[in-house]
Amino acid sequence: MIKRFLFFHGLMSTALLLLSAFVFAQNKSIDVTHYEFEIHVFDHTDEIKGTAQIHLTAVDSISSITLDLEGYHGDSINPKGMTVSQATWNTTPITWEQSGRQIHAHQSLASGQNGILTLVYSGVPSDGLIIDKNKYGHRTFFSDHWPNRGSCYLPLNDHPMDKATSSFKIHAPSTYKVVSNGQLISAATLPKDASQTESNQQNWSANDQHPKLWEWHMPHQIPTKVMVFGVADFDTASYAAVGNVSLRGWVYPEDAELGHREYAAASEILDFFEKHIAPYPFDKLDQVQSKTIFGGMENAGCIFYHENSTGGDGSSEDLIAHEIAHQWFGNTASETDWKHLWLSEGFATFFTGFYLEKKYGDEAFYTYMDAAQERLTQFANRYPEVVVVPDSTPNLMALLNPYSYQKGGWVLQMLRTELGEDLFLEFIRAYFHKFAFANASTTDLITLLESYSKKDLNPLMKHYLYHPAIPHIVWTHIDSGTVIAHLEGTDASLQLSRVQYEYHTEQDSEDDQVGDISISTNPTVVLLPKNADIGSLKWNTDRAYLLGPAEHYKP
Ligand SMILES: [Zn+2]
């Protein structure tokens, strides 16, 4: 995803850093294979009514099944959270206990035993499903799960490791349209009487419009953080299909013209990533104007963008590229744990720059990477101890920082430099294919990298992913033709094999002369022509590496 303020102001959102998300350990004792959610949403109340069928297998022998679901707060002023009223294992009623953000269903299972846990529940979501008026004052409902806010209203094993297929059956007033992951199976208006008798849970008020049942099914295993539905008065349009992939836009009717013009860029972007990475992993791609708290949220095949992303002037192109890149990186090849977030965000950041470079040229890429470095530098000045892959993640929202995004993106740019673009893309494709519909850690990526490089890239990966310091070049000149340069801010193991330098000569100050050297903490001699203008010497002008400003040492 993208934090909203990065796009509006180019500044870090400290507000988001202060938001905290509860962290709970991954429940490894079960493996959920499929979620089927049936949810009723209403106009007259923010209470939702849900039935969840959770298809799961016990990984260990367990005495009860534990899932994440925020329980009822019991706060009379602000009563939120979910209350379970019924639980069954296959067809047998069972007892359960809710405590805090978990539910324990009292069913013992032998290792390898599978079945369906059904939970009937209701409540007002505290988060994870944003029920609010949109900017035009119309009521809307939007899932917004990252990182583990989905379990505020859905019973989930809410961790990126436990991927599953999903179905959303949404009963909503018939004035709305409903969008979700996967394919639309059916959308049918229900007779009001029929809907009232089909379940005594439904409680439609006389003021509600006749409900309509929308059924969506996602046939691919995805993380819970990117399972969603959205309910609003949408104007929909189809964009140019890419092969068999259909693309659509879902925007507020007031923004229909400009919104569809803006979001239609998705076709060209999807086509670009298919050509450079791999066939699109899902069946369709929807672009949805929404109330997400982020600038954009990469929900699988169903991207939610912030409300003001519909400029119609191309101003959201990089945002759209970022979220589409996530369909491969994050949604399909996912991180094993939160601390490896750069495998999602660093990839989406780099591949946005890569797209801009191929479409608009080198200067667009340099501008993008310079801005990335500037954000990283500003953040690093305030939080000097942060690293890309931290030991622990006490606050998941705090991971949404320029180390995960911009520095992670720079790490991929440096791999492109070291491997060359063709081999780099071959490596990226191999990484994607190896971990598609599965999970990877940073170590998994580094291990795979070893078979793609003749050079040991461990020092580069270790330095940039696990240390906060950004090295810089220190150089001096003996005479106008002899320069000596070395790296500072790192140890002797780091060797950057192709650092570009640029200068002009006194006769011809217009045309830059270019060369490159391999550099480490050991001094390296660079021989320039005698008539080189030392004052014009610049380093890393092709943004091959993440380096701090070069320092000219004058003895
Ligand atoms: Zn992202």
Interval 95-124: pLDDT, tens: 999 999 999 999 999 999 999 999 999 999
For residues 408 and 342, membership in a common domain is answered with yes
Domain at 53, CATH number: 2.60.40.1730
For residues 235 and 348, membership in a common domain is answered with no
Neighbours of 102 (CB within 10 A): 17
For residues 354 and 414, membership in a common domain is answered with yes
Residue 15 alpha carbon to ligand 1 centre in Å? 18
Residue 513 alpha carbon to ligand 1 centre in Å? 38
Q: What is the DSSP letter of 144?
A: -
pLDDT of residue 26: 84
For residues 442 and 479, membership in a common domain is answered with no
Residue 334 alpha carbon to ligand 1 centre in Å? 12
Per residue in 394-425, pLDDT (tens digit) is 899 999 999 999 999 999 999 999 999 999 99
Closest CA to 72 of 37, 38, 103: 103
Question: Which residues have C-beta under 5 Å from ligand 1, the single-atom ion?
Answer: 1, 345, 348
pLDDT of residue 20: 53
For residues 384 and 286, membership in a common domain is answered with no
For residues 323 and 438, membership in a common domain is answered with no
For residues 245 and 389, membership in a common domain is answered with no
Residue 406 alpha carbon to ligand 1 centre in Å? 11
For residues 489 and 547, membership in a common domain is answered with yes
Phi, psi of 269 (to 5 degrees): -70, -45
- Whole-Å CA distances, 58 to 91, 113, 120: 18, 6, 21
Residue 392 alpha carbon to ligand 1 centre in Å? 20
Residue 195 alpha carbon to ligand 1 centre in Å? 39
Closest CA to 104 of 155, 56, 147, 153: 155
Residue 491 alpha carbon to ligand 1 centre in Å? 32
Residue 400 alpha carbon to ligand 1 centre in Å? 9
Residue 286 alpha carbon to ligand 1 centre in Å? 16
Residue 553 alpha carbon to ligand 1 centre in Å? 40
Residue 323 alpha carbon to ligand 1 centre in Å? 6
- Angstrom distance (rounded) from CA 409 to CA 171: 41
Extract the tokens encoding 195. 């809907």
Q: What is the DSSP letter of 117?
A: E
Domain that holds residue 263: 4-328
Residue 2 alpha carbon to ligand 1 centre in Å? 5
For residues 454 and 532, membership in a common domain is answered with no
For residues 312 and 363, membership in a common domain is answered with no
- The pairing of strands 245-251 and 235-242 is antiparallel
For 535, residues 6+ apart whose C-beta sits below 8 A from its C-beta are none
Domain at 453, CATH number: 1.10.390.10
pLDDT of residue 19: 52
Last residue of a domain, one of 466, 485, 508: 466
For residues 203 and 302, membership in a common domain is answered with yes
For 415, residues 6+ apart whose C-beta sits below 8 A from its C-beta are 424, 427, 449, 457, 460
Q: How many domains does the chain have?
A: 3
- The pairing of strands 472-479 and 551-552 is parallel
Q: Which residues pair with 34 in a beta bridge?
A: 55, 165
Low-confidence ranges of the chain (pLDDT < 50): 5-18, 195, 197-202
Residue 294 alpha carbon to ligand 1 centre in Å? 9
- Angstrom distance (rounded) from CA 445 to CA 435: 10
pLDDT of residue 221: 98
For residues 182 and 301, membership in a common domain is answered with yes
